[in-house]
Amino acid sequence: MQRSKLISHLGPLIMLLAGLGFGLGAMTSLDLGSLRRMGPGAFPLLVGGILAALALIALIQNLRAPMPIQQADPIAVLGVGAGVGIFACLTPIFGVVPATAIAVIATGAAIPGFRWPYRIALGLAVGAGVWLIFVQGLAMPFVAFRWS
């Protein structure tokens, strides 16, 4: 098999291994609970299973017709890394909602041509969505806003 074909299979294989790892870790070390009262391992098992299934589909499609290899965009990698770092650093200080909004705004800096008004609107919308879904809807024990 050619080197370029092997490299094109690498992404789906990594996703498949990550999904199987999350699922196996959830099954072996966390309580899955029941269908009525799901435990802390139910969500990682579900996400791992979905990731593994999607990776398997991508791998099968890639075996039929390999994807072309593209150059990595270092600005996009730095933007996503900065967004994750900003979220991790600002969540304990400001709470999950402002940290999410600021991280989305910062990550949007990596998208060429994405103007500031749209970045700010997207950050506010995602922050509001996090508040509505996770804090209000699912009653997750997050500190939504911390103003101290």
Question: Per-residue pLDDT for 1 more than 60?
Answer: no
Burial per residue of 42-58, b for 16 or more beta-carbon CB atoms within 10 angstroms, e otherwise: bebbeebeebbeebeeb
Q: Is the pTM of this model over 0.75?
A: no
pLDDT computed for residue 3 by the predictor: 60
Task: Specify whether the CB–CB gap between 110 and 80 falls below 8 A.
Answer: yes
Mean residue pLDDT of the chain comes to 84
Contact (Cβ atoms closer than 8 angstroms) between residue 78 and residue 110: yes
pLDDT tops 90 at residue 124: yes
Which tokens in the block code for residue 5?
């074909």
DSSP summary character for residue 40:
T
3-state secondary structure of 33: strand
DSSP-derived letter for residue 1 is: -
State phi, psi for 33 to the nearest 5 degrees: 75, -155
Query: Lowest-pLDDT range, 1-10, 14-23, 60-69, 102-111?
Result: 1-10
- Whether 15 and 58 have beta carbons less than 8 Å apart is answered as yes
**Short-list 76, 134, 125, 89, CA closest to 104:** 125
Give the rounded percent of residues in the chain with a pLDDT score beyond 90: 21
Q: How many CA atoms lie within 13 A of 71 on its CB side?
A: 3
Q: What is the pLDDT of residue 148?
A: 53
Here the tokens at position 30 are 């966390």
Domain boundaries, the chain: 3-64, 74-137
